[in-house]
Structure 1
Amino acid sequence: MNPDIFADEVVTHALVRDVALPRGAGTLALITLDNGHDHTRPSTFGPRGLTELGEALDAVAAREDIAAVGVTGKPFIFAVGADLKGVPLIGDRADAAAVGRLGHDVFRRLGELRVPSFAYYNGAAMGGGVEIGLHCTYRTVSTGVTAFALPEAFLGLVPGWGGTYLLPRLIGAEKALKVVIDNPLAQNRMLKGPQVRELGIADAIFDSADFLEESLAWTARVLKGEVVVDRPEVDTGKAWDDAVALARWNVDGRLHGAAPSYVKAIDLIAAAKDRTRDEGFAAEDEALADLIMSGELRAGLYAFDLTQKRAKKPAGAPDAALARPVTKVGVVGAGLMASQLALLFARRLEVPVVMTDLDQERLDRGVGHAHAEIGRLLAKGRISPDKANRLTALVTGSLTKDAFADADLVIEAVFEEMSVKRAVFAEVEEHVSAECVLATNTSSLSVTEMAAGLRHPERVVGFHFFNPVAVLPLLEVVRGERTGDEALATAFATGRTLKKSCVLVKDAPAFVVNRVLLRLLAEIVAAVDEGTPIEVAERAAAPLGLPMPPFVLMGLVGPAIALHVNETLHAAFPGRFPLSDNLAKLVASGKPGVYRPDLTLDPEAVEIFAGGDRPSTEEQVLDRALAALADEIRLMLDEEVVAAPEDIDLCMLLGAGWPFHLGGITPYLDRTGISEKVTGRRFRT
């Protein structure tokens, strides 16, 4: 392997010490994985670190005086997988294959020692960090573990150091596919310690406060025969095949072949039931080599880097020292979005949140919805009874806005109409302090116009959340023409506390995500208006692997909202966002979309869109849609709606579900040549 590829590797050392086990069970050689940094720089595996671990395992394997070998991590971190910094520099398939073989050669020694091996998952474990434990004879996990995953398919890889072979043979194909396929597809969902135990990955779970001590005591009992680990027999027959078939159907329906890593991972798990360990590991090596050399991985790493770095240091954000403390929040409105916002503020800020609305019935319904969600969190074990009681007490309602008198931030979530929102802010300003930040959750209206006429327009800021509020991580922070640095800094600080990824956006029609999505939707709807069948237009976007087809998305957000945003954009850019008479007719009909609840097309809705005589093919629809996206994004950058193309990519990844395997929307348009064809230049150099 070319040594220059991983020249910047931060080596994770394998620190070995002897531990005298209780109950006279003998000596355990405990290997601690530690890169010498605190928990903010997790331990990863590069070639030098793997070589050092291999040497440590050679040394303990040669000893006759130990009863077992254990592996754990530094405080809060077990290990988070391969060092990916050097991967984009690999230009030779032989080097790519060598990365897979080295990990297998080292990790498998833990399963081939003359004594039992134990993995003690004390903290975050991802990728290779999970896999090193799978090679061990036994595993324990801490209750404090909040990030446990095999996220490789999400990035464009497969769990290639034993994950696709060992995990299904340990817990069965169905559960393994949940970890390897379903969770990455669900915005890279993480497992927590109790879930790791429930799935059967860990044999025991212990409280985080005394985790290592309890794990060592359990190890002693296992070695003495006082504890027998009984694992259910894995069904390698029809159940295995059915789980694989379901996973294939799910991935094909979601991604339409656009992400080869998911297909490759399923193939490996499907074959694992009949392969020997050597065959399974060799197949993983070949799959890794293919994927490391693919453009998909480069795209996934770019997207991952954006979400891990740029999202944490938003471009253009003011000095955090200017932020004001938020000790109470007001929410104007008591609809579904308002209730979601109230609950989010209460959970994350743990401050009083008061909702207002025009009548008691609506107010009670909104507050009740927030309280009911708290009850559901309690029922699922996500929060304790004490926490549920405290959160319930924090969310209250009032029919009068004088309840906002001591609020530090008030956010409106009322009807998307400028006159309504201006009237709300004018009324709120009569009751709040001069320092209180006024935030609007508008999806498309001008923040500057909304603040006009107020005594303190500098306090108004856009705070655009995405639905569902608790799930989607993006928060578009919109700076109006007169928004002050203090209000903006408070918005960013609050967004961080809410655990949202904030992007600074200029006050422009529909901001970023809705503007891009509506340009895409406008082209698709225009093609249907011209005579393209709805199902053909829907399939046209399938190669992108978006979370849902355009007309399904329209049904989710609601045709009326789609029409309203379209009208806003048409008013600003009539040449690029034409109004659809058919969409207006659909809204007037009262139908929730073109699909029925069973996701079959509604014949009456189809009839509304019928009549065009210039149908297009799928390829033609996709070409025009992508050309429109390239055009719109270039205009947005020229208008300085955001600081750089990376911010548009970040918004689309976190707010619109743009697939990680495509990287970002701008590099995708660059790779496919569309950006140069349409705009004459690439978005990124």
Structure 2
Amino acid sequence: AFNLVQKHAKKPSGAPDKALAVPVTKVGVLGAGLMASQFALLFLRRLEIPVVITDVSQERIDKGLSYIIGELDKLVEKGRLSTDDRNRYAGNLSGSLDYAAFSDCDWVIEAVFEELKIKQEVFAELEKHVSENCILATNTSSLSVAEIGSKLANPERVVGFHFFNPVAVMPLVEVVRAPKSSDQAVATAMNVAKNLRKTAVITSDSAGFVVNRLLGYLLGEAMRAVDEGASFEQVSEAIAPLGLPMNPFDLLELVGLKVGAHVLDSMHAFSSDRFYASANLHKLAEYGKLIDRDAKGNIKGYDKKAMEIVGNGLGKGRSSEEIFESVNLGLAKEVKLMLDEGVVQSAQDIDLGMIMGAAWPFHLGGITPYLDRSGASERAFGGTFHDPMIIGIKG
């Protein structure tokens, strides 16, 4: 895994010539919500260039600006940022309802509501105001990058640039090359990722890209087991040998139950025979709670009402061993399909994405060496991802 992160990350598979990248001297952010504001803050601190944000109302813009300035002030209070740097970053920040303020941007990223029509509309309006060389990046996690750019006069300028939450902490960015994305757009995205000190993996414009495709499968199988009658505890314990830092239900609570349900629905629409969509997860999302916490926010267990919604684990579900085997086989099949489809160029890209974007255990060396060693690859498709197999670190 060390070799993977140190070497493969520095020379990403499929990266165009770095010389093609557009020099980025000003950044635009479409949206002023929490995610968009986190983007703006990161661009201010890492790129140290002007950043302009916009949204549907001045009130929302002002709220975003206040959040960003507030975060800078917190860093000063903690001694992690000098007052001079704070003032310089604040001076580089602006907000405007007028897209004309984006006319001199070289890179604009959208973080608006996850709905195709809205993303198409904001990009179409923006295109009237920016130069032909301005790269338009979308942070979509579930929509087609090609479709987002399909209404533009210059769709080749559009590229996916998918961050992971929390933005400042998670080291991965998925750079998504749509069929019409130019080498210039992809090279610029890779250069921006590098300057943000992020690790980038280039993927094709396929549902879920890398990380959400595999996590979507895992979360779907966890909910399938619950819907069949297993308890939250049994499923968590069954999947625990994977070594992920959070069990599936803690992860669903973290990303948001509505977001989780949306991801599962999107992947189910992509392939209904492989990805499970749970009606119970929608009921849990409506209820709004899965985990029971104490006054300090520490996890006490699962919420009683949530357990009632899914049936309290009283059904005749599969054994823990059967659940774990099913998850392993499914992951192996999905990774093989991703490689066959050309979603990424190598198994190492998937390993890097899962380590950096899903906190896959570093000592296991990546998901594909793990699947080989566990025998899941052989059972799933009669082969292995690596020959010879990669040995992990015993921890």
Q: State the partner residue of 2:166.
A: 468
The 2-side partners of 1:323 and 1:562 are apart by: 35
Find the aligned partners of 1:653 and 1:411 in 2 and give their Cα distance: 25
Q: CA deviation at 1:595?
A: 4.0
Secondary structure of residue in 1 paired with 2:160: strand
The structure 1 residue matched to 2:248, chosen from 532, 540, 550, is 550
- The structural deviation recorded for 1:662 is 1.1
Do residues 318 (structure 1) and 19 (structure 2) align? no
1:478 match? 176
Q: How big is the shift at 1:608?
A: 1.1
* SS across alignment from 1:419: helix
1:650 aligns with 2:352: yes
Deviation of 1:573 after TM superposition, in Å, equals 0.5
Per the alignment, residue 393 of structure 2 pairs with none
- In 2: Cα distance, 1:643 partner to 1:503 partner: 10
Q: Which amino acid aligns with 2:227?
A: D
Q: Which residue of 2 aligns with 1:603?
A: 304
Q: Give the aligned partner of residue 398 of structure 1.
A: 96
The answer to whether the aligner puts 1:593 opposite 2:294 as a matched pair is: no
Alignment map for 1:308-387 (pairs within 5 Å): 308-387=6-85
Partner of 2:319: 617
Structure of higher RCO (CA pairs closer than 8 Å, 6+ residues apart): 2
Aligned partners of 1:415 and 1:644: how far apart in 2? Answer: 32
For residues 396 and 541 of structure 1, the distance between their equivalents in structure 2, rounded to whole angstroms, comes to 46
Task: Name which of 420, 433, 442 aligns with 2:118.
Answer: 420
- Does residue 361 of structure 2 align to residue 664 of structure 1? no
Any idea what the Cα deviations from partners look like across 1:161-219, whole Å, max 9, x if unmatched? xxxxxxxxxxxxxxxxxxxxxxxxxxxxxxxxxxxxxxxxxxxxxxxxxxxxxxxxxxx
Aligned equivalent of 1:152: none
Distance 1:345 1:610 in 2: 46
**3-state SS of paired residue (1:309):** helix
Tell me the residue number matched to 1:450.
148
For residue 570 of structure 1, what is the aligned residue in structure 2? 268
Aligned-partner SS, 2:201: strand
**Matched ranges for 1:74-223 at <5 A:** none
**Quick check: 1:628 aligned with 2:330?**
yes
Tell me the residue number matched to 1:51.
none
Q: Deviations over 1:373-415 (max 9, x none)?
A: 1111112222211111101111221122221111111100011
User: Percent of aligned pairs with the same residue?
Assistant: 54
CA-CA distance at 1:594 after TM superposition = 4.2
Contact 1:458 1:484 in 2 (8 A): yes
The answer (yes or no) to whether the contact 1:558–1:593 under 8 Å persists in 2 is no
Aligned residues of 1:328 and 1:408 also touching (Cα < 8 A): yes
Deviates more, 1:355-364 or 1:514-523: 355-364
CA distance in 1: counterparts of 2:121 and 2:290, whole angstroms: 31
Q: How far apart are 1:641 and its partner, in Å?
A: 0.3
Q: Which of 179, 185, 188 does residue 490 from structure 1 map onto?
A: 188
Q: What is the alpha-carbon distance in structure 2 between the residues aligned to residue 487 and residue 595 of structure 1?
A: 45
Alpha-carbon distance in structure 1 between the residues aligned to 2:316 and 2:26:
57
Contact 2:289 2:303 in 1 (8 A): no
| Normalised TM-score (structure 2) | 0.94
Q: Where does residue 379 of structure 2 map in the other structure?
A: 677
Q: Distance in 2 between matches of 1:568 and 1:320?
A: 34
Work out the number of aligned pairs and report it: 382
The residue that corresponds to 2:197 in the other structure is 499
- C-alpha separation in 2, matches of 1:384 and 1:330: 25
Structure 1 counterpart SS, 2:9: helix
Please state whether the residue corresponding to 1:541 is helix, strand or coil: helix
Name the residue aligned to 2:392.
Answer: none
Q: Which runs of 5+ in 1 are unaligned?
A: 1-302
| Distance in structure 2 (CA, Å) of the matches to 1:579 and 1:570 | 6
What is the CA–CA distance in structure 2 between the aligned matches of 1:366 and 1:617, rounded to whole Å? Answer: 48
Contact 2:159–2:177 (8 Å) recurs in 1: yes
CA distance, structure 2, for counterparts of residue 451 and residue 410 of structure 1: 13
CA spacing shift, 1:377–1:622, aligned 2, 3 Å: same
Deviations along 1:582-636, one digit per CA (max 9) or x if unpaired, are: 01111222x1434445422111111111177332232222111111111111111
Structure 1 residue aligned with 2:390: none
Letter in 2 for 1:308: Q
TM-score normalised per structure 1: 0.55
The secondary structure found in structure 2 opposite 1:312 is: coil
Letter aligned with residue 40 of structure 2 = A
Q: Which residue in 2 is equivalent to 1:537?
A: 235
CA distance in 2, matches of 1:454, 1:684: 42
The DSSP-based 3-state class of the residue aligned with 2:302 is coil
CA–CA distance in 1 between the matches of 2:386 and 2:306? 41
Q: How does 1:250-329 map to 2 (within 5 A)?
A: 303-329=1-27
CA distance in 2, matches of 1:436, 1:631: 39
Partner of 1:621, secondary structure, is: helix
For residue 354 of structure 1, what is the amino acid of its counterpart? V
For 1:353 and 1:341, how far apart are their aligned partners in 2?
10
Q: For 2:152, what is the secondary structure of its paired residue?
A: coil
Larger mean Cα displacement after TM superposition, 536-545 or 636-645: 536-545
CA contact (8 A) 1:447 1:460 kept: yes
